[in-house]
Each structure stands twice: as C-alpha cells, then as structure tokens.
Structure 1
Amino acid sequence: MQKAVDAHFHIWRQEDQPWLRGPVVPRIFGPYEPIRRDYPIEEFLADQKGSGVEKAVYVQTNWAKEDFEKEVAFLQTTAEETGWPHAVVGYADMTVDDVRPQIDRLKKYPLLRGVRMQLHWHETPAFRFAAAPDQVVDPKVRANVARLKDYGLSF
C-alpha cells in the first residue's frame, strides 16, 4: 500500500461549531445533517485505517471567529494526547488592519503551519464566505497574507 499524508482533514466537537449547532441552512457543500454531531480524532483514525495515511494536516473548521486560538489549542492538545494531527492550519482574520497580533497568539502552538480564511465568492448569498467578490485583492488582505512569510506560515 502506498503511504500518504492527508493534507486536509477535519475533526470537531459540535459544541465548538456555531454552524453545526444552528438551524440547517443551504450550504455550498450540500446537505450536512449527518455531520451535525461530534467527529473525534478516534473516529477519524478508525475511518482512515488501512488507507495508507500515515500523517495528517488539520484545516480549520469555522469555529466562531473569536475562538480562533481555542481551535488551534484544541488540536495541539489532541496531538499531544494521540499523536494526531501532525500539522495545523488555523484561522486568522485577514481583513483586519494588522493580523500579526492574531498570528503571535497562534505561533505558541508548535503544530501551526499556516492559516486559512475562506475568501470564496458565490452568486448565491448563502454560499458566500467572502464579503465581496474581490475581497482577495483587498489591500488589507494582501498585506496580511504577505506578513505570513515573516512567520514561516502558508495561506
């Protein structure tokens, strides 16, 4: 069997996910009733058993924005307890004047390798993550993305 790294996986506790606790609404990824529950690392590991996946990178799952550090802390603790994940991509709000205070808070977690803020646009308002179709080229966003190189992080 070929060995692999899962470059984008999720685990979650429903209590941490406002979008999983609230009313079901149309989402770009379709019906999501089956995931409106906890999905712990133990279940992920059981699901990928025999797949050849030897390591995995957790990618943020849209916790409340103000809980961006709690999410990375949860993953760091999970890794310390189980050995998984091997890297974390957390959330940072790239629309603020200066993202560095957020990154400074996240950098204390050794598994942090990057940040993600979903900037995709869709004609259907319910499917949007970006505030505008050109948010990705907003000067604040561009400046904050550029700042990540000083931390050795990806976007």
Structure 2
Amino acid sequence: MQKIIDSHFHIWRQQDLPWLVGDMVPRIFGPYEPIRRDYPIEEFLADNEGSGVEKAVYVQTNWAKQDFEKEVAWVQKTAEETGWPHAIVGYADMSVDDVRPQLDRLARYPLLRGVRMQLHWHETPEYRFASDARQVVDPAVRKNVARLKDYGLSFDLQLFPQQMRDGADLVEENPETDFILTHT
C-alpha cells in the first residue's frame, strides 16, 4: 500500500469551537450537524485505519482568536500522548500591527510548522472569513507574512478565485516562505 501523509486534517473538542456550538448558520461547506460533537485523535486514527496514512498535519480549526496558543498547546499535548499528529499549523492574527509576539509564543511548540489565517472573502457574508475582499493586500498582513521566514514557518493561503491575483503577489513578495494553497 502506498504511504500517505495527510497534509490537512482536524480534530476538535466541541467546547473549544464557538462556531461549532453556536447557532446553526449557513456555511460554505453545507450542513454541519454531524460534526457538532467532539472528534478526538482516537476516532481520526480509527477512521484512517488501513488507509495508508502514516503521518498527518493538524490545521487550526478556528478556536476563539484569543485562544490561538491554547489550541497549539492542546494539539502538541495530544501528539506527545499519542504520537499523532506529526506537525501543526496554528493560527496567528496577521492583521495586527506586529504578529511577532504571537509567533514567539507559538514557537515554543516543537511541532509547529506554519500558520493559517483564513483570508478568503465571499459576497455571501456567511461564507467569508476575511473582513474584506482585499485583506490579502492589507499592509499589516503583508508585513506579517514577510516575518514568517524569520521563524521558518509556512503560511496556509486560503482564498477564493477572485482573490488569486492578489494572493500570487503575496507569494511573489515572499520567496523565502513556503505557501500552502488550501481549500481552493
């Protein structure tokens, strides 16, 4: 069987996800009643048994912004206890004036490999994460993405098609940073 690395997966505790326990609203991924529960690493592993997945990268699941470090700490602890996952992509708010204090806190976790701040904007308010369609070209975002190279971190770039030109510019400005194009 071919060996596989799952480069983007999620586990969660429902209590940590305000969007998952809040009122049901239309989401771009459709109805989500079936995931309104805990999804621990043990279930993820059972779901993947026999699939050939031998390693996996956890990607942040939109905890409350102020809990960005708690999320990475929880996933790091999960990995220490179970051997899974093998890498973490955490959240950092790239729209702040200086993201380095957040990155300094996250850098303490050995499995951290990158960050994701969802910059995709949609005409339908329920489908957007970015504050506006051009957040990807916001000077603060650009300045903070440029800082990732100093930490050796990648950036998970999540955009809608109409934002791709701006996203390509961001990538071109940062040749020393690895970008992962996600959910595109």
Q: Name the TM-score, length of structure 2 as normaliser.
A: 0.84
Task: Provide, for residues 73-120 of structure 1, a one-character-per-residue CA deviation record: whole Å limited to 9, x for no partner.
Answer: 000000000000000000000000000000000000000000000000
Q: Can you give the 5+ residue segments of structure 1 that lack an aligned partner in the other structure? A: none
What is the SS of the residue equivalent to 2:57? strand
1:74 and 2:88 correspond: no
Find the counterpart in structure 1 of residue 109 from structure 2. Answer: 109
Q: Report matched runs for 1:51-66 at 5 Å.
A: 51-66=51-66
Residue type at the aligned position of 1:40:
P
CA RMSD, aligned part only? 0.3
Aligned pairs (5 A) from 1:1-155: 1-155=1-155
Q: Distance in 2 between matches of 1:114 and 1:134?
A: 22
SS at 1:113 equivalent? strand
Q: Which amino acid aligns with 1:35?
A: I
Q: Secondary structure at the match of 2:20?
A: helix
Q: Structure 2: which amino acid aligns with 1:64?
A: A
Identity %: 83
Aligned residues: 155
Which residue in 1 is equivalent to 2:171?
Answer: none
The 3-state SS of whatever aligns with 2:154 is coil
Task: Extract structure 1 runs of 4+ deviating beyond 3 A.
Answer: none
